[in-house]
A and B are shown apart, each in its own frame.
Chain A
Amino acid sequence: MVADFDTIDININVGPQHPSTHGVFRMVLTVDGELVRDLDAVVGYLHRGAEKLLENQDYRQGIGIQDRTEYLAQFPAEQSYVMAAEKLGGFVVPERAEYVRVICVELNRIASHFMFMGAYGTDVGVFGTSFIYGFRERERVYRFFEELTGERMMYSYFRVGGLAWEVMDGFEEKARALLQELKRGINDINGLLTRNEIFIARTRHVGEISAERAIEYGLSGPVLRSTGVRWDVRKDEPYSVYDRFDFDVPVGEFGDCYDRYMVRLEEMRQAVRIVEQALDQMPKSGPIMPEKMPRMLRLPAGEVYVPVESARGEYGVYLVSRGGNHPWRCRVKSPCFTNLQALREMTVGEYVADSVVILGSIDLVLSEVDR
């Protein structure tokens, strides 16, 4: 007869200074040996009051705040904000500006996904190689953006009505050359991870969530699509000029960590396709701002919500204006915050090592969660 040992569950505090919490996220794991019994997610370490700041800034100043809210996919965040203001003010964006925006947004999506690939590989345990592969390509995109906008990360390039300034000389050739390099980078990541048995063993059937539960939680982006739900704002509620492009929305099968990775990998390829089409269709010259833009932007009273498909899911800006040059209320709908809710359900019953992988597979940006 084996003696009845009393074992106790211990609490492990992962974060906010843990190497793999992707910022200042904290989760308190209750573990029974290697098994996670409970998870308590603590957010708010990076709260900077971005929404309140936006209420006190005029519409041009707010664009800079948007960059800092979502620091890995800045252009989608900017786009959401300026589109909300445009909708409120009834501005028509010139076609050329729309195309440049789409190119920027899609390249930014690729950069963000590369960042994910790098960090995810490290979470799974690759000693820095995937990280360098990801960052190498991301840096190429950032160089391109730096040439275009002058800043590496915090672009403030979109403006209500269009763009801040004209694209640089040789924009199209440079973009095409960039795409060629990015394709090779995608192949590198693909070769390193996709078919690696250890990677498959670590991520397949880990952190699964069913399509029903995903919808109940209100998940969006790759996390939702990995469960097999074909929902993409670009496709289902086309904004900007997305209805003119031919691209696929990749979906997964099981809703596990491997599917989330695969969905993102395929999304990068689709983003390359979109950029190529956009470069083909883009008017070679034309205005980038509407004819009559007031020097000081004052929007009529009203409220508007504009979602865009950011790299992490549905990023939306809800603007309430009571007239005047700044919003009365600006609420940011953060995809990561919603996706984070499902973390507990995905993690409880998995192993400690998996908790890190699952967290990584959500692709957190903490500044966007806490705002």
Chain B
Amino acid sequence: MLGVLRSMLTTLSTTMRRPVTRQYPESHRPIPERERAFPLLLWDHGVDEPYCTGCQACERACPCKCMTVTMKDNPRQAEGTSKRRKIVDTFWIDYGRCMRCNICVEVCNFDAIAMNNTWTGIELSAYDRHDLVMDLDELLALSRAGGIVPWAEYVGEENQKLPPRAVQAARTLAGRGPA
């Protein structure tokens, strides 16, 4: 019966250790910088328009065909405030289909798309699957508010030049504490 006693000692020893679970909605585990939640579009704060030109490279590369992109002429190029000749017109991503493979980020020529690495991208339960189809405004919202610091290797460095306050807010949101 020594084996039985050994089992009981093992369980006794784990009783002495700290719990490994946590109070989930209140206490988030810090999530790593490279976290890949769902793809988001980035906002060019310098010119005040999206980086995305609607070139559809991501749409073609998407393995589960969850994206729909259209392009239009950029009116601000005519005004002379922007260098982009074309700009995204509409952009839908069906988060219900997306499999978070990161390929869209890799193929993007303009570093216009990034994976959401904050908690906002993880808790996305919805009552209706249509609520998971995100349109252009929803995709840009987080970046426009300065709430995302994309990982440098996903997107170019220049996309990370965000206002410091926004960076701070994003880090808090991501459970990483103030910078």
A156 CB within 8 Å of chain B: yes
Q: A64-B63, A154-B100, A191-B10 are in contact. Are A196 and B3 (CB under 8 A)?
A: yes
Neighbouring A residues of B6 by C-beta, 8 Å:
191, 195-196
Write out, one digit per residue, whether chain B residues 104-131 have a CB within 8 A of any chain A CB (1) or not (0).
0010000000010100000000000000
When the two chains form the complex, which single residue of A61, A139, A166, A194 contacts B63, counting CB atoms closer than 8 Å? A61
Write out, one digit per residue, whether chain B residues 1-31 have a CB within 8 A of any chain A CB (1) or not (0).
1111011011101100000100000000001
When the two chains form the complex, which single residue of B3, B11, B99 contacts A154, counting CB atoms closer than 8 Å? B99
Q: A57-B63, A195-B2, A200-B3 are in contact. Are A149 and B99 (CB under 8 A)?
A: no
Closest to B2 in A: A195
Q: A64-B63, A151-B100 are in contact. Are A192 and B7 (CB under 8 A)?
A: yes
Residue from A133, A191, A200 whose CB has the most chain B CB atoms within 10 Å = A191
Closest to B11 in A: A129
Interface size class, chain A: 35 or more
Interface residues contributed by chain B, number (CB under 8 Å): 29
Q: A188-B10, A192-B7 are in contact. Are A166 and B101 (CB under 8 A)?
A: no
B102 CB within 8 Å of chain A: yes
Neighbouring A residues of B103 by C-beta, 8 Å:
60-61, 64, 156
B35 CB within 8 Å of chain A: yes
Write out, one digit per residue, whether chain A residues 295-328 have a CB within 8 A of any chain B CB (1) or not (0).
0000000000000000000000000000000000
B61 CB within 8 Å of chain A: yes
Neighbouring B residues of A197 by C-beta, 8 Å:
1, 3-4
Q: Are B34 and A148 in contact (CB under 8 A)?
A: yes
B86 to chain A, nearest CB (A): 21
Q: Are A64 and B101 in contact (CB under 8 A)?
A: yes
Neighbouring B residues of A133 by C-beta, 8 Å:
14
A198 CB within 8 Å of chain B: yes
**Which B residues have a C-beta under 8 Å from some C-beta of A?**
1-4, 6-7, 9-11, 13-14, 20, 31-32, 34-36, 61, 63, 99-103, 106, 115, 117, 151, 153
**Which A residues have a C-beta under 8 Å from some C-beta of B?**
57, 60-65, 68, 129, 132-133, 136, 139, 146-151, 154, 156, 164-166, 168, 188, 191-200
